[in-house]
Amino acid sequence: MLRTRVITALVLLAVLLPLLLFAGARSFGAAMGVFAAAGMWEWARLAGLRGWRALAWAAVWLALVAAMLFSPVGALDADGSFALATLAWAALLLGSLPRAALPRALAAPAVLCLLGFLVLFAGWMALWHARRLGVGYLLSMLMLVWVADVAAYFGGRAIGGPKLAPRLSPGKTVSGALSGVLAVMAYTAVCALLPGLQDTLGGRLALRWGLPGALLVAALLAVLSVAGDLFESLLKRRAGVKDSSGLLPGHGGVLDRIDALLPVLPVVMLLVGLGR
């Protein structure tokens, strides 16, 4: 199992690193579009669709991405999609996580797929815009979620204590979540204060909101990353599966890799004001 995970990770790095560092913004956007289309297919399956119905959602998703990349539509203000995705996440997270179940109004496959379409599209749009702003900014945005995840894992193992959401993810603890929040705040402070890091996410947050405001935003983003992970766990438990798919051997599916990132991306772009 470990060997499979390592091989898959190396293959992904071999594909994604050249795209990130050397490809143009459009090529990067196209590659991320294909990647996210696989996530749309997984989301549709978790929503209860099978066969060609799930593939149809992915196909429509790819068609929209192509339109954004290769037509003047791609130059339009993206703040609308980020705002709608933020509202969609508010409905999904606030409506489901406190009760560890989807409300009936959101559980219908068509409704759930439509919301998934929206949040995946906004996530892709955020990555595309971030890449156009520079590799450093994009990496700093991804790093925030990785810092939260790693700190939560090690903090939870070291401290233990009460479970955060035992009905959704028995391994997560309150101490782990708090460790992730504190680590993200520290990471943001470093980026905001050190010379040469002003174009990172932390630097831009501090420039717009001041350091205290940037730290509060960082804490919110860390909480959102945990909530995104819990929401995907809810979808998988509801569908009776361990992973969103087997597309990434040893790692599960695409959604298993980006679940914590999806709620963070549109909020980041709105709060930093980079959707234009």
Q: CA 248 to CA 244: how far, in whole Å?
A: 10
Show the CA angle centred on residue 230, arms to residues 179 and 99, nearest 5°: 115
pLDDT in tens, 87-129: 999 999 999 999 999 998 899 999 999 999 999 999 999 998 8
Return the higher-pLDDT residue of 29 and 79: 29
- Mean pLDDT estimate for the chain: 88
Surface-to-core class of residue 79, CB atoms within 10 Å of its CB (0-12 exposed, 13-18 middle, 19+ buried) = middle
Using alpha carbons, select from 52, 54, 36 the residue that is nearest to residue 113: 54
pLDDT in tens, 242-273: 999 888 877 788 999 899 999 999 999 998 86
Domain boundaries, the chain: 2-272
Question: What is the reported pLDDT for 40?
Answer: 96
Question: What is the reported pLDDT for 79?
Answer: 78
Residue 73 has pLDDT above 50, yes or no: no
Range picked from 10-14, 63-67, 171-175 for highest mean pLDDT: 171-175
Q: Where are the alpha helices (DSSP H) in the chain?
A: 2-22, 25-46, 52-70, 79-96, 104-107, 109-133, 135-159, 174-193, 201-239, 254-258, 264-272
